[in-house]
Amino acid sequence: MSDQPPAGAPTPAAPDGRLWGVGLGPGDPELVTVKAARLIGAADVIAFHMARHGRSIARSIAGSYMRPGQVEEPLMYPVTTETTDHPGGYQGALDDFYEACAGRLAAHLDAGRDVVVLAEGDPFFYGSYMHLHKRLAHRYSTQVVPGVTSVSAASAELGRPLVERDEVLTVLPGTLPPAALADRLRDTDSAAILKLGRNFSGVRSALESAGRLADAWYVERATTDKQRTEPLASVDPTTVPYFSLAILASRAVLPREPTIRVASAGSVTVVGLGPAGREWLTPEAQEALATATDLVGYKTYVNRVPPNPRQRRHASDNQVEIERATYALDLARGGSRVAVVSSGDPGVFAMASAVMEAATDYPDVPVHVLPGVTAANAVASRVGAPLGHDYCVLSLSDRLKPWDVIASRLSLAAKADLVIAIYNPASRSRTWQVAAARDLLLEHRSPGTPVVIGRDVGGATETVTVVRLADLDPAAVDMRCLLLIGSSRTQLSNGKVFTPRQYPAT
pLDDT tens string 260-278 = 333 346 899 999 999 887 8
The 8-class DSSP code of residue 234 comes to G
| Burial class (CB within 10 angstroms; exposed 0-12, middle 13-18, buried 19+) of 403 | middle
Closest CA to 295 of 319, 270, 318: 270
488 versus 460: the higher-pLDDT residue is: 488
pLDDT digits (tens, 9 = 90+) for 243-266: 899 999 887 654 444 333 333 468
**CA distances (Å), origin 400, targets 62, 321, 322, 395, 397:** 63, 12, 12, 10, 7
CATH of 19-147, one of 3.60.15.10, 3.40.1010.10, 1.20.1730.10, 3.40.50.700: 3.40.1010.10
Cα separation, 56 vs 75, in Å, equals 9
Q: Give the integer Cα–Cα distance in Å for 488 and 199.
A: 89
Quote the longest CA-to-CA distance of the chain: 111
SS3 496: strand
**Given a cut of 50, is residue 306 above it in pLDDT?**
yes
Residue 465 has pLDDT above 50, yes or no: yes
Confidence check: pLDDT of 506 > 80:
no
SS3 per residue for 83-124: CCCCCCHHHHHHHHHHHHHHHHHHHHHHCCCCEEEEECECCC
Question: What are the pLDDT digits (tens) for 307-354?
Answer: 887 889 998 887 788 999 999 999 999 889 999 999 999 999 999 999
Query: Distance (Å, rounded) from C-alpha 185 to C-alpha 180?
Result: 9
Among candidate residues 467, 497, 470, 493, the one with its CA nearest the CA of residue 389: 497
Q: pLDDT at position 257, please?
A: 43
Residue 358 has pLDDT above 70, yes or no: yes
Query: Is residue 484 predicted with pLDDT exceeding 50?
Result: yes
- What CATH class has 376-498? alpha beta
For residue 14, pLDDT beyond 60: no
pTM summary value: 0.51
DSSP letters, 309-374, are: TTSEEEEE-TT-HHHHHHHHHHHHHTT-EEEEEESB-TTSSSHHHHHHHHGGG-TTS-EEEE----
Torsion-angle region of residue 357: left (phi > 0), alpha (psi -120 to 50) or beta? alpha
Q: Determine the CATH number of domain 151-248.
A: 3.30.950.10
Share the mean pLDDT of the chain. Answer: 89
Parts of the chain belonging to CATH 3.30.950.10: 151-248, 376-498
The CATH number fitting domain 267-373, selected from 3.40.228.10, 3.40.1010.10, 2.40.160.20, 1.20.120.1730: 3.40.1010.10
Query: Does residue 105 register a pLDDT over 90?
Result: yes
- Spatial separation of the C-alpha atoms in residues 491 and 304, rounded to whole Å: 36
On the question of pLDDT at 464 being above 90, the answer is yes
- Residue 24 pLDDT level (bands cut at 50, 70, 90): very high
- C-alpha to C-alpha distance for 178 and 16, rounded to whole angstroms: 47
